[in-house]
Structures are given as C-alpha cells and as structure tokens.
Amino acid sequence: MAEIIEELNDQMKVRREKMETLRESGIDPFGHKFTRTHNSAELHAEYDENTKEELHEKDLHATIAGRLMTKRGKGKVGFAHIQDREGQIQIYVRKDEVGEENYQIFKQADLGDFLGVEGQIMKTDMGELSIKASKLTFLSKALRPLPEKFHGLTDTETRYRKRYLDLISNKESFNRFVTRSKIISEIRRYMDGRGYLEVETPVLNNEAGGAAARPFYTHHNSLDIDMALRIATELHLKRLIVGGMEKVYELGRVFRNEGMDMTHNPELQPWNLMKLMLTLTISWI
C-alpha cells in the first residue's frame, strides 16, 4: 500500500510540474471558453455507416472536446480517445499536420486532461471513426491520475466517497445518474402538464414533523435557537392546500437521523403531491 501511495504522489508531482510548464509556455492550464460542433454520440450516429473512402471524399470537419482517456503512439504519430458526456471518439494526431507546438501539447497531455480537437472526420484502416487533428487546444489539467484503466474503480468505499471517480470510470454508474435526472425531469413535465404547482417548503423548522423519525439538529446563530432539518414535507404542503393552492407537489430532500444501508439513506428525496381529496408520497434515495 505504501508503494502505491508513493507512486501516486510521484504522479501528482509530475502533473504539477507539467502545469507550470504550460504556464511558462503561455498556455492557461485551466482553460477558457471553447465551442465544439459535435459530441461523440452525434458523430457516431451520423458517420458510423460511412466507409473510409466516403468520408475522405466528403472532407467533413468537426470540433470536439473532452477528457483524454487513452493515449498511444510514438515518434511523430499518436492516437488517443476523447471522452465526453455521450461517449468516446478516437483522435489521430500527426506532427506534420498539427505542427510542433500542437504536437507537444499532445505529447505532454496526461490521461484525465481535457483537450479540444479540430480536424477532419475519417475512418482508420481498422474501420474506427476518428478525428484527424489539425489543431489541438489545451483546456484543463488533471492534477490527479485516473483509476487504473483496465479494471476501473472497483473499491466500493472509494466509489461511494469519490463519486466523481466512479462516474469517470464506470459507465453503468454514469448512466444511472443520467437516468435519475431524466426521471425527475419527466415527473416535473407530467405534473406541470396536469396543473400541479411545484413548490419549495422550508428545510429548517422549529420542530420536525410529518413523520415518525429522528431528526438532525442545527443551531441558528442569529436567532440563537436550535432548529431541526425536515423529516417530511407533508405538513407544509397541507398548509398550502389550506391556503387555496389546491394542487401542489415537491421534489425536495428530507433528512432522517437513523440507520443506513444500501436501500436506506439518512438523506433521501421523496416526491410528495397533494390536491384536494388526494395525497400521494413516493420516496427514493
């Protein structure tokens, strides 16, 4: 374990040295505005069916941006994979095409760094859709190394405590987060379309009510009073119904200071909706 920690420290030191080298070269290691024309999914959807010869004849160009996930090559030629939110696409970099300065950007880039790439859409001899780079833009320096690429992030504790690494390394986890976001958006669309008003009720209360659960407590310094984080949204939603709003819903966090396991978290997000003569609560973590 000590050897692994020392190795990681060495990698982080080298990355910081590269960051300073970028600055000395006049390149901002943490980027600026960059506009892309396509993401990886759009390119694959539009051009995967084209042959190498068809793409060469069409002479199409694209600008992409993303995280450097793999890099290989030697001498004056290199290949890499750039990952954005939608997936990955390969880039093909030749020194005689991009020039000395751009090729040095590619050579010095570490896995995890963000790059912008402009170039021609092509296919390799192996049939892989790629971007033949004509210009590289350094966008952001990753100061810590990514998890080992072949096995990904497998330690459960690290996956939960460092979700950002889990999202980078595990596509299944990433897709789960995306699906959750889409579900919440669909709930809002459904409820809004049926005349419900989305509301926000207080998170801090003098007393926690609306459910049988132990609350978390905090202290309000200005008022010098103890307050409880809400354990349910029900009581405030009922007050809105009394006030004449008739149809309301809330997608808001509640906090319960209780036990926890894979299906029961102290911080959870219920979906509460209320209207005259109807109440419904659905909860998920």
Which sequence spans correspond to the domains of the chain? 2-140, 194-284
**Residue range 114-126: mean pLDDT, rounded:** 96
Q: What is the CATH number of domain 194-284?
A: 3.30.930.10
Give the model's confidence band at 276: pLDDT under 50 very low, under 70 low, under 90 confident, else very high: confident
- What are the pLDDT digits (tens) for 190-236? 999 999 999 999 999 999 888 888 999 999 999 999 999 999 999 99
DSSP state string for 79-116? EEEEEETTEEEEEEEEHHHHHHHHHHHHHHPPTT-EEE
Spatial distance between the Cα atoms of 56 and 45, rounded to a whole number of angstroms: 18
Closest CA to 105 of 70, 130, 74, 141: 141
Q: Do 117 and 131 meet the contact criterion of CB atoms below 8 Å apart? A: yes
Spatial distance between the Cα atoms of 252 and 232, rounded to a whole number of angstroms: 9
Residue 136 has a pLDDT of 96
Give the model's confidence band at 43: pLDDT under 50 very low, under 70 low, under 90 confident, else very high: very high
| Amino acid sitting at position 37 | T
How is residue 115 written in tokens?
A: 């790059």
Long-range CB pairs of 4-10, under 8 A, 24+ apart, other chains included: 8/144, 8/145
Residue 3 has a pLDDT of 44
Spatial distance between the Cα atoms of 14 and 143, rounded to a whole number of angstroms: 9
Taking the whole predicted model, whether its pTM rises above 0.85 is answered as no
Residue 72 has a pLDDT of 92
Checking if the pLDDT of 6 tops 70, the result is: no
Domain 2-140 falls under CATH 2.40.50.140: yes
Spatial distance between the Cα atoms of 172 and 10, rounded to a whole number of angstroms: 31
Q: Do 252 and 269 meet the contact criterion of CB atoms below 8 Å apart? A: yes
Upper half-sphere CA count for residue 148 (Cβ side, 13 Å): 7
- What are the pLDDT digits (tens) for 241-259? 999 999 999 999 999 998 8
Q: Please give the residue that has the higher pLDDT: either 240 or 4.
A: 240
Region of residue 16 (phi > 0: left; psi between -120 and 50: alpha; otherwise: beta): alpha
